Structure 1
Amino acid sequence: MRILILNWRDLSHPASGGAEIYTEQVLRRWAAAGHQVTLFAAAVPGRPADEIRDGYRIVRAGSRFTVYREARRWWRRHGRGGFDVVIDETNTVPFHAHEWVDDGTRTIALVHQTCEEIWHINAPPVLAHLGRHGLEPNWLRRLGGSPILAVSASTRDALARFGAHDVTVVPEGYEPPDPLPRPAKQEQPTAVFCGRMVSYKRPGDVIRAVSLARESIPGLRLWMIGGGPLLDRLAAAAPPFTRFLGRVSDAEKHDLMARAHVHLAASVREGWGLVVTEAAALGTPTIAYDVPGLRDSTTAGRGIVVPPRPEAMAEALTGNLPDWVRFPPGPLPYGGAHSWDTVADTLLEAVHEHARVPRGPMRVAA
């Protein structure tokens, strides 16, 4: 097939994250299987406007805010008649390709998560109110006019509240480090938080939960991994049992997560919660807030979800951590997610179903 994917970022973008890893892993497998794949994304300083990477083409134009307009312009000039399917990958703002792809090409949306509560954390009050109650509901209602692929049941359920009914859940993927780190667990009970120090990740809730749990688990300590705007303030006020490590290499992150006894996650909302999957693949269970995305990854990773309150997280720590210290769980294959080969195959099958394009080879190659 000839496939066009629209995403405001590619993996070279400094703000790239889990959605871009997902995209890159899938696209290079589709390209290796012989499909003609093009990714349209925003411009990145120091990167060419047009390049081939891992067998697929990346076209870059526009900024965070103008990439949507530039995608329409590029389609009018270069895209018409050149593709079998267009995938509108949504990171808060959809491209709404189904409204301007005008040559009969089928369009499909791929949604990792909705924003909703995060508006009030990441935006000024007036914009947050407008985004939460005006902009995003309008964007998602319009997006419901085309088939949608969602990476979790939570995202599917969120989209349904905005009127989307043709939603197919596709799997999340993960590639564990090879070789898999297997260091000995710490002798002292140890919890770990891994994520950006930003408000919507609620790192302060994790510190509070561990502080409460220490009343029943003497010696419990907490490692905080990750950078971000709240790092200095949190570190300055950190209680003695908390150690802030900042940003670390992947190898160091994996080693620390494998040596901890429990991973804690308290985000307001996630598309999936890849860090939960990472921890499970390393043999470290998660206690997470029962919120969209985290409930999906934590359940798949055989962890525990709790009401979104530090007191509930502390209670779960008190009730489960002593057993995990005595009998650490083993690594879970793919952390409860799936291999990227499986993800690429399943996603391609879903694209075929919705695009109604005659099938070629389905199996992709890593």
Structure 2
Amino acid sequence: MRILVLNWRDLSHPASGGAEVYTEQVLRRWAAAGHQVTLFAAAVTGHPADEVRDGYRIIRAGSRFTVYREAQRWWRRHGRGRFDLVVDETNTVPFHAHEWVNDGARTIALVHQTCEEIWHINAPPGLAHLGRHRLEPNWLRRLGRGPVLAVSESTRQALARFGAHDVTVVPEGYEPPVPLPRPAKEHRPTAVFCGRMVNYKRPSDVIRAVELARGRIPDLRLWMLGGGPLLESLTEAAPRGVEFLGRVSEADKHDLMARAHVHLAASVREGWGLVVTEAAALGTPTIAYDVPGLRDSTRAAGGIVVPPRPEAMADQLATSLPGWRRQSPEPLPHGGAHSWDEVAATLLTAAEKHARVPRGPMRVAA
């Protein structure tokens, strides 16, 4: 098949995250299986406008805000008549490919998460209100007129609230490092947080939960892994027993996560929560807030979800950590997710089965 994937970021983008890991893992497997795969994404400083990586082609044009317009322009000039399937990978703002692809190519959306509450954390008050109550509902209602693939049941339920009813849940994937790190657990009770130091990840909630739990576990320690705009202020205000390690290598991240007794996650919402899966694959259970995405990955990984309050996390931490110190869980295959080979095959099958056939006239490639 000739497949075009639209995503405002590719893995080279400095703001890339779990959605881009998902995209890269799937696309290189589709390419290896013999499909002709193209990814259209925003321009990235220092990277070419057109390159081939891991067997698939990447076209880059536009910025975070103009990439959607540039995708349509590129389609009219270079794409029309040359693809069988178009995947609109949505990160808050859809490309709405089903509204402008009308040459015989089938279209389907792939949604990792909705934004909703995150608007009020990441945007100024006026824009946050507009985005939460006008823009995103309009975007998702339009997107829901066509078929959608969602990476979790939480995302499917969120999309349904906006009127999307033809939604198919597809699996998340993870491949543990090889060889799998198996260091001894720390002698001192240790929790770990791994993520960007940004408001919607709520690192302050994790710090507060550990402070509260220390009333029952006095020598409890917390490792904070990750960079971000809040790193400096959080580090300056860090209470005793909280260590900020900043951005670390993948090898160091895996080593630290494997040595910790528990992983803590407190995001406002996620599409899935890949870090929960990573921790479980290393034998480290998670206590997470019971919010969209995190509840899916945490339950799949055999962890525990709690009401989204530091007090609830602290109580569960103090209750569960002693038992996990006595007997650590065994590493969970794929962290409760699926192999990327399985994800790539399942996603393509679902896309072929559920994709929308356009109503417009058929065109033949030159």
TM-score range, shorter chain: over 0.9
Structure 1 residue 356: Cα displacement:
8.0
1:11-90 aligned at under 5 Å gives the runs 11-90=11-90
Cα separation, 1, equivalents of 2:234 and 2:355: 49
Query: What TM-score, normalized to structure 2?
Result: 0.96
User: Could you give the per-residue CA deviations for residues 313-348 of structure 1, whole angstroms, max 9, x where no partner exists?
Assistant: 011011111000000111000000110000001001
Cα separation, 2, equivalents of 1:82 and 1:139: 27
Residues 107 and 356 of structure 2 are in contact (CA less than 8 Å); yes or no, is this contact kept in structure 1? no
Structure 1 residue 103: Cα displacement:
1.1
Cα separation, 2, equivalents of 1:130 and 1:59: 31
Structure 1 residue 104: Cα displacement:
2.7
Structure 1 residue 15: Cα displacement:
1.2
Cα separation, 2, equivalents of 1:62 and 1:356: 27
- For the pair 1:343 / 2:323, whether they are aligned, the reply is no
Residue 52 of structure 1 aligns to a residue in which SS? Answer: strand
User: Could you give the per-residue CA deviations for residues 218-253 of structure 1, whole angstroms, max 9, x where no partner exists?
Assistant: 211111111111111111111111111111111111
The match for 2:256 is 256
Cα separation, 2, equivalents of 1:245 and 1:115: 29
RMSD: 1.0
Q: Specify every segment of 5 or more residues in structure 1 that has no aligned partner in the other structure, as ranges.
A: 358-366
Structure 1 residue 355: Cα displacement:
3.5
Residues 39 and 58 of structure 2 are in contact (CA less than 8 Å); yes or no, is this contact kept in structure 1? yes
The match for 2:195 is 195
User: Could you give the per-residue CA deviations for residues 101-135 of structure 1, whole angstroms, max 9, x where no partner exists?
Assistant: 12132110000000000000000000000000000
Q: In the alignment, residue 31 of structure 2 is paired with which amino acid?
A: A
Cα separation, 2, equivalents of 1:306 and 1:253: 25
Q: Specify every segment of 5 or more residues in structure 2 that has no aligned partner in the other structure, as ranges.
A: 358-366
The match for 2:112 is 112
Identity among equivalent pairs (%): 83
1:178-327 aligned at under 5 Å gives the runs 178-327=178-327
Residues 10 and 16 of structure 1 are in contact (CA less than 8 Å); yes or no, is this contact kept in structure 2? yes
Residues 40 and 71 of structure 1 are in contact (CA less than 8 Å); yes or no, is this contact kept in structure 2? yes
Residues 147 and 355 of structure 2 are in contact (CA less than 8 Å); yes or no, is this contact kept in structure 1? no
Residues 280 and 301 of structure 1 are in contact (CA less than 8 Å); yes or no, is this contact kept in structure 2? yes
Structure 1 residue 79: Cα displacement:
1.1
User: Could you give the per-residue CA deviations for residues 59-98 of structure 1, whole angstroms, max 9, x where no partner exists?
Assistant: 1111111110011011111111111111000000000001
Residues 289 and 307 of structure 1 are in contact (CA less than 8 Å); yes or no, is this contact kept in structure 2? yes
The match for 2:177 is 177
Residue 219 of structure 2 aligns to a residue in which SS? Answer: coil
- For the pair 1:148 / 2:136, whether they are aligned, the reply is no
Cα separation, 1, equivalents of 2:49 and 2:246: 33
Cα separation, 2, equivalents of 1:190 and 1:356: 49
Task: Count residues with an aligned counterpart.
Answer: 357
Residue 51 of structure 2 aligns to a residue in which SS? Answer: strand
Q: In the alignment, residue 196 of structure 1 is paired with which amino acid?
A: R
Residues 146 and 356 of structure 2 are in contact (CA less than 8 Å); yes or no, is this contact kept in structure 1? no
Q: In the alignment, residue 353 of structure 1 is paired with which amino acid?
A: K
Residues 281 and 332 of structure 1 are in contact (CA less than 8 Å); yes or no, is this contact kept in structure 2? yes
User: Could you give the per-residue CA deviations for residues 194-232 of structure 1, whole angstroms, max 9, x where no partner exists?
Assistant: 111111111111111111111111211111111111111
Cα separation, 2, equivalents of 1:211 and 1:31: 49
Cα separation, 2, equivalents of 1:223 and 1:63: 35
Cα separation, 2, equivalents of 1:7 and 1:203: 28
Cα separation, 1, equivalents of 2:355 and 2:324: 47
Q: In the alignment, residue 19 of structure 2 is paired with which amino acid?
A: A
Q: In the alignment, residue 174 of structure 2 is paired with which amino acid?
A: Y
Cα separation, 1, equivalents of 2:220 and 2:308: 21
Cα separation, 2, equivalents of 1:356 and 1:5: 15
Q: In the alignment, residue 46 of structure 2 is paired with which amino acid?
A: G
Residue 38 of structure 2 aligns to a residue in which SS? Answer: strand
Cα separation, 2, equivalents of 1:267 and 1:185: 26
Residues 261 and 324 of structure 1 are in contact (CA less than 8 Å); yes or no, is this contact kept in structure 2? yes
Residues 84 and 355 of structure 1 are in contact (CA less than 8 Å); yes or no, is this contact kept in structure 2? no
User: Could you give the per-residue CA deviations for residues 280-336 of structure 1, whole angstroms, max 9, x where no partner exists?
Assistant: 000000000000000000001100000000010011011111000000111000000
Residue 179 of structure 2 aligns to a residue in which SS? Answer: coil
Q: In the alignment, residue 200 of structure 2 is paired with which amino acid?
A: Y
Cα separation, 2, equivalents of 1:117 and 1:355: 29
Query: What TM-score, normalized to structure 1?
Result: 0.96
